[in-house]
Amino acid sequence: MGLGREALHVHEKDNVAVALCALKAGTIVKVSTRGGAEVTVRLSDDVPFGHKFALRDIQQGESVIKYGEVIGVATRPIRQGQHVHTQNVDSLRGRGDKR
């Protein structure tokens, strides 16, 4: 796919990146961050297309940042390279899979 870019870092403050194709656990992904630096991440989980993975460690209770804004809070400690989604993130303003 084009230059073979596998992940997108949307905003320089973001601590997650988005997979641009289905990525398997064990894959080493080079993410060009919006800040200019390149971060190398080894995925510890499968990350489906459109899903997020951690660019760095995120503490339990720490904000998950995407688009430069808080999109939720980590409900468990998240390691760099882990899949970031409903299993380890809660919304601060409502959540669709919990009733």
Q: Which of 39, 70, 75, 80 binds another protein (CB under 8 A)?
A: 70
DSSP E strand stretches across 25-90: 28-32, 38-42, 52-54, 63-66, 69-74, 83-84, 89-90
According to the binding rule CB under 8 A, does residue 31 interact with another protein? no
Amino acid at 50: G
According to the binding rule CB under 8 A, does residue 36 interact with another protein? no
Yes or no: say if 84 and 47 are a contact pair by the CB < 8 Å rule: no
Amino acid at 27: T
According to the binding rule CB under 8 A, does residue 99 interact with another protein? yes
Least Å distance, CB 26 to another protein, is 20
Residue 37 vs 67, nearer CB to another protein: 67
Residue 21 vs 79, nearer CB to another protein: 21
Yes or no: say if 17 and 40 are a contact pair by the CB < 8 Å rule: no
| Site for another protein, rule CB under 8 A | 1-5, 8, 10, 18-20, 48-52, 64, 66-67, 69-72, 84-86, 89-99
